[in-house]
Structure 1
Amino acid sequence: MAQGMKRLGTPIAALLGLALVGLIATSWFLNRDALRQAVEAQIRAVTGLDLVVRGTIDVSVFPASYVSFHDVGLKGSAAADPALSVDVLTANLRLLPLLLQRFEIADVMMLRPHIRVIREADGESNWTPFIDTIVRNMKPGADNQLSFSEIRIQDGVLDYEDASNHLAEQLGAIDLSLAWPSISRSFAATGQFDWRGERVDGSISASDFVAALSGDRSGLKARLASAPLKLAFDGTVADRTSMMMEGTLTIDTPSLRNAMRWTGQAPPGAGGFGRFALKARANVVGPSIALTNVNVELDGNVAEGVMTYANNGRQTLQATLAAGNLDFTPYISTFRLLASGAHDWNRQLFDLNSLSTTDLDMRLSAAQVTVGPTKLGRTALGANLRGGALALSVGEAQMYGGIARGSFGVARSDAVADVKAQFQFIDVDLQQLATELFGVTRLSGRGNLNVSLVASGSSPFGLVSSLDGTATLTGHDGAIAGVNAEQLLKRLERRPLSGGGNFRQGSTPFDKLTIAVKFADGIATAQDVHVEGPAARMVLTGTASVPAREYDLKGVASLTSQSATPGFELPFVVQGPWDDPLIFPDPESLIRRSPAAGALLNAVKDRKTRDAVRSVLERFTGGGQKDATPDAAATAPAGAPAADASKPN
């Protein structure tokens, strides 16, 4: 067998030797002008592009077989803005045909090509005549001899300008391999390029390249992968009067906020918009895209439905989605009504720029919604953003153990937000509602709340300072924590000056609660506030400052009487901050109810002395000290009649 291989190797070596001798001889006697013309003709036949060589031409047969053209352009291209210019275009030749004095290109490599695409408002571009030529040359029956199927681009640049959309983009450092359809009808391109500071891996393939160039229907697959974003499309494409695409679209990004910035979009707000994934059936017509069978994930929220996006000079997004659990906390985490760690309203200015970039029309339903500390059950939401005005509507939401519905609107006027809110809370837990909405922790029970408010400001503090509107709360079977009205009233009924002890203990139960207030420039005025309990009643008047978050109220508490005789009544005062107000009886009322102290007060005629005496007497009632019950006789002015604390008054 070894001898057989040896005998076989001898003629092969002889053939290679003859080929080498022939190749060397060919390099001596080669007609370089004919070679150059043949190469130009084949490139023109395959690509449809008629090249103009403005620089030198290098021809090599051995050891490498190629023809290199320097400073190449397209014939018919504008001199000022050429559609294509190439520093060096190299055509590598097939070896065996070259030995027979036939010049066939194996592949073409373009070094540092500069491709310029200018799209006019009518949809035509500077490449339209060249594409028409390519289509004619590649149609079946055309007079051409296709010989090569690969074109490589190295270190290329593509400039794209769209006059109608005022768009200009550039792709740099392009390294692509184009599988030109010399045998089959398909076309494919794979490689990498730089766009906006990111390296992008890309691939695209068309099942019928001639149809795609002609605007007819063709299969299309496209993949783009970069650090900010991954995108894939698998379907069909056509471009007659406008671009039409239909197929499966997938998008994936670790940060939608970063991806939007990378693609030139302004992300809304300052929170959320992290991990994003979308898969849908896409139908693209011109600048509009309709998505069906949508499965979308954003910040861990998953929803299904349909979406439509259009960009006709202004971006518009429409969507109808259904979800299981939704968490809106990331999107409001940077919006704080109260200053961090303080009891004052936040004075940080609003950023309203996101209200003017996109139009939005969304319908959203969810089995459960989380907004910060608030948990909602089954919820139907609507959001509409148009012309810088945002309108949110709650068709119905299971909230605070009851039902909530209403609307919330924000309109932008320069840096000022004009806010309008109308809400109804039906049969809700009053403790949850008061704590989460108003920061008040002293109310419990169940009831209804109707709110209609308007405000205007550039910060949360500015909004509450201009607050106008009305609010009505009705409750039942609850309690007001911080004071036991029944116990206090009974003690003071027996001994008005016995001292208040700690008035801020216990709670006052109620059967019925009514609160009706009117807001004007941030001041809430009590129009109808009364509490009816099994043993005590209370009525309040006065105001509450929303900007200062303080009460300034006066009220009358009375024991419920079963007889015709009116029960004991006690005026009282509520003053101080919302979360920790001071509640104390009116000193003058207690003084007048004590015969001894009343005579003393009447005996003091001048105002200065009267105020001094009253200041001392207030200590008896706890107005100055929470738990003190001083001896009236020990503190009475000299010569004044003392009240006997050991005897009931």
Structure 2
Amino acid sequence: MTRRASILAYSLVLVLGLLGLQSWGIAAARVQKHVIAAIEARTGLVVSKLDRAEIALLPLPRISLSQVGFSQRDGQVSGQALRLKARARILSLLAGRIDFDRIDLVSPQIDVAVAPESDGLSDWLAPPLDYLQGLRGQSRIVIADGSIFMRAQGAVRTILRDVNLILDEREAQDSLAVAGSLNWRGVPTEISLLWPVAGTRGRTTLSVNAPLLKLQFDGTRSSSPESTTNGHLTLSTPSLPDLLGWFGEAPRLAAAVGTFNLSANAQIRPHDTALTNVVARVDDDRLDGALNLAMASGRLSVSGTLAGAQLDLGRLVSRMDTAGLDGSPGAAALPFDAWTAEDIDLRISADAMRLNGAKLNDVATYLLVKKGRFETGILRANAYGGSVKGRLLAVTTPGGIDVKLVGGLDKVNFGQAGADLPQFARLSGSGNLQLSLDGLGRSLPEVIGSLSGKISLSLRQGELTGFAFGDLMRRAERNPGLALRDWRQGRTAFETATANASITHGILTLSDTQMAGAGYRLSLFGSASLPERELDMAAVLQPATGALRLPFSLRGPIETPTLEFEPESMLRPAGVIGGAPLPLR
């Protein structure tokens, strides 16, 4: 080829290239029907309207539609986009047909019709997954800066914003692969999904990365005889209540859990998920076992068995939402419906457990919740040389919430317990405590005001610190005028201490309550108002033999009562001065 011919050939190619790069506007009515049909075949969406179509041939054949309206044939998925861009395959064009390997939806607003009764993420995602599974194949679909509206009978149920997703190209038997990012309920989220859409078995993976959730799942899915997915699941969240709130759930009991991590083998069916080989971390405590989650008639059910080396149960209880448990007069009704909104059957055991300072060993606990019924308790626990058991049951009745509380301590060393529990710090000795209470009401004050039952305490071979009743008795027998000096210091050793109380309509009445030691006996009698949390009691200190009696009064708030000597209640020599009030703190 001569130099002149080469220049002419290169010039011709350059002109053709420039012409190919130029977008040529044509009327929408003149867009060939097979181009629109090709878009429908590779997306499953019918182009229902457009303002303008542009075609460019070089460097790659492509079509651009402006202000596009589209919909699935059954109307379940529809929407509009600022622009639809489709890139044609060159080999297909050379073969005389149009096919696209990539279709971009720019700034689309997509409407997805969901069932009116749907209220969860899985229900909302089912229609678009069904739509994609129904395609015989698809081009790579890119959604850029879009929004997806889930609507039920025209009402918006939820919105996915800032949607930037890539759906990989696939043929009829290939799995659906989706990756990208979106913003749901104000939380930016990155997702990646591999979902089999054909055949009886296929690999399934899911990855979710958001501030509230890190989730990984890798397994297989089969559709026969029912849709079942098996695989390994890992999940972590800095706050379980916040995570559930993100999904629109607010179970009251979930407030007990802070940081939560889970690793398990999962079997997922339409309304049931079984987790085995569970390793759950609640804050810093590890629990192993099995769990099952199910949904029936819109009600969540959680059941399972977990065991661990240690668990801080007190920390969990302290986080609980106690709204409605204000014991002051006029408090609101107990939110019992919220407390029993889910079905729960959990059995948790731990080698060591802490409960508001108390240290328990070899503990087995349980939690049973049904609609209108709440039950929890300690089936067994070793504590301070003895054992502990307890049960709380609350049931809805026409008259309010029927509450039953039963508990007991057996052969517990109160001196050892006092090192961890300040309320027992003054007391030592080994003994038993039994209580049985019943109450009925719509608020906590009503329940307390209706309480009836019994409480009994028995101790042996112990001491009461902060008081010297034995020394006081001996001095009073020798010289009553000096009896009240320094009796508020020291210790009082006792051989036995017993207390028995009956409770009727919130009023506790003592009977047969006394402490006895070497040369003395202290008797206590009177009553306490549980609703008012006030004591009105009297005590008498007297020798084991003899007629001398030293009277005291015990009055004031239950938490901080005042013990006061009552000199006017006894015959005494002139000049004996009564004791000043002594706070029991």
Whether TM-score is above 0.5 comes out as yes
1:156 aligned onto 2:141: no
1:273 aligned onto 2:252: no
1:379 aligned onto 2:327: no
Q: 1:584 aligns with which of 556, 565, 579?
A: 565
Distance 1:441 1:349 in 2: 35
User: Structure 1 residues 151, 509: CA separation in 2 closer, same or farther (over 3 Å shift)?
Assistant: same
Aligned CA RMSD, in angstroms, stands at 4.2
Match of 2:554 in 1: 575
Deviation at 1:25, TM superposition (A): 7.6
Distance 2:443 2:499 in 1: 28
Query: The residue matched to 2:248 in structure 1 has which SS?
Result: coil
1:175 aligned onto 2:164: yes
Match of 1:76 in 2: 73
Deviation at 1:245, TM superposition (A): 1.9
Map residues 245-284 of structure 1 onto 2, 5 A cutoff.
245-268=229-252, 272-284=256-268
Deviation per residue, 1:303-344 (Å, 9 max, x gap): 11111112221111112100111112333336799xxxxxx9
The answer to whether the 8 A contact 1:324-1:368 is kept is yes
Report the residue type matching 1:88 in the other structure: R
User: Structure 1 residues 11, 523: CA separation in 2 closer, same or farther (over 3 Å shift)?
Assistant: farther
User: Structure 1 residues 330, 59: CA separation in 2 closer, same or farther (over 3 Å shift)?
Assistant: same
Of the structure 1 ranges 42-51 and 220-229, higher mean CA displacement relative to structure 2 is found in 42-51
The answer to whether the 8 A contact 2:181-2:191 is kept is yes
Match of 1:145 in 2: none
Map residues 194-593 of structure 1 onto 2, 5 A cutoff.
194-206=183-195, 208-211=196-199, 216-239=200-223, 243-268=227-252, 272-312=256-296, 313-333=298-318, 352=335, 354-411=338-395, 418-431=402-415, 439=423, 441-455=425-439, 464-497=448-481, 499-546=483-530, 547-559=532-544, 566-577=545-556, 579=560, 581-584=562-565, 587-591=568-572
Report the residue type matching 1:352 in the other structure: P
More strand as a share of residues? 2
Distance 2:168 2:149 in 1: 22
The answer to whether the 8 A contact 2:60-2:90 is kept is no
The answer to whether the 8 A contact 1:446-1:475 is kept is yes
Distance 1:95 1:89 in 2: 19
Q: 1:109 aligns with which of 74, 89, 104?
A: 104
Aligned length: 560
Distance 1:178 1:86 in 2: 17
Larger CA Rg, structure 1 vs 2 = 1
Distance 2:179 2:509 in 1: 71
User: Structure 1 residues 435, 416: CA separation in 2 closer, same or farther (over 3 Å shift)?
Assistant: farther
Of the structure 1 ranges 438-447 and 398-407, higher mean CA displacement relative to structure 2 is found in 438-447
Distance 1:542 1:529 in 2: 10
Query: The residue matched to 2:549 in structure 1 has which SS?
Result: strand
Match of 1:88 in 2: 83
User: Structure 1 residues 468, 25: CA separation in 2 closer, same or farther (over 3 Å shift)?
Assistant: closer
Deviation per residue, 1:211-265 (Å, 9 max, x gap): 3xxxx43221111111121222211234568643221122111222221211111
Query: The residue matched to 1:234 in structure 2 has which SS?
Result: strand
User: Structure 1 residues 491, 243: CA separation in 2 closer, same or farther (over 3 Å shift)?
Assistant: same
User: Structure 1 residues 380, 520: CA separation in 2 closer, same or farther (over 3 Å shift)?
Assistant: same
The answer to whether the 8 A contact 2:100-2:139 is kept is no
User: Structure 1 residues 12, 286: CA separation in 2 closer, same or farther (over 3 Å shift)?
Assistant: farther
Query: The residue matched to 1:501 in structure 2 has which SS?
Result: coil
Distance 1:620 1:11 in 2: 137
Q: Give the TM-score normalised by the residue count of structure 2.
A: 0.81
Of the structure 1 ranges 539-548 and 522-531, higher mean CA displacement relative to structure 2 is found in 539-548
Distance 2:548 2:12 in 1: 128
Match of 1:563 in 2: none
Q: Which runs of 5+ in 2 are unaligned?
A: none
Query: The residue matched to 1:576 in structure 2 has which SS?
Result: strand
Query: The residue matched to 1:477 in structure 2 has which SS?
Result: strand
Match of 2:182 in 1: 193
The answer to whether the 8 A contact 1:320-1:362 is kept is yes
